[in-house]
A = this chain, B = another copy of it.
Amino acid sequence: MKWRVNVTVRLKEGLNDPEGRVIGKALRNLGYAVENLRVPKYFEFELESESPEEEVEEMCRRLLANPLIHSWEYRIEPVS
């Protein structure tokens, strides 16, 4: 069966996000009252699988994220 998947990979609480800090500062310099800007990694893909949750969890651990520094969440929905 085929699924549409998206995965969001965030740095764990308390870890620095230098890219986010720079972008947040640039937006404030343009006059926007932005705070706590973060730039998670975000992946979208289709997956052919009989056990999509298990496979996506495994993909995160093996390749998409680093369990030491990241947390992740995903959304999986059937492709109609």
Contact = CB atoms under 8 A, between A and B. Distances in A.
A48 interface: yes
Interface string A40-67: 1111111111000001000100111000
Q: How many copies does the complex hold?
A: 2
A26 interface: yes
Contacts of A38: 43-45
A66 B30 CA distance: 16
* Chain A: number of interface residues, binned into ranges: 20 to 34
Interface string A1-45: 000000010000000000010011011001011111111111111
Interface of A: 8, 20, 23-24, 26-27, 30, 32-49, 55, 59, 62-64
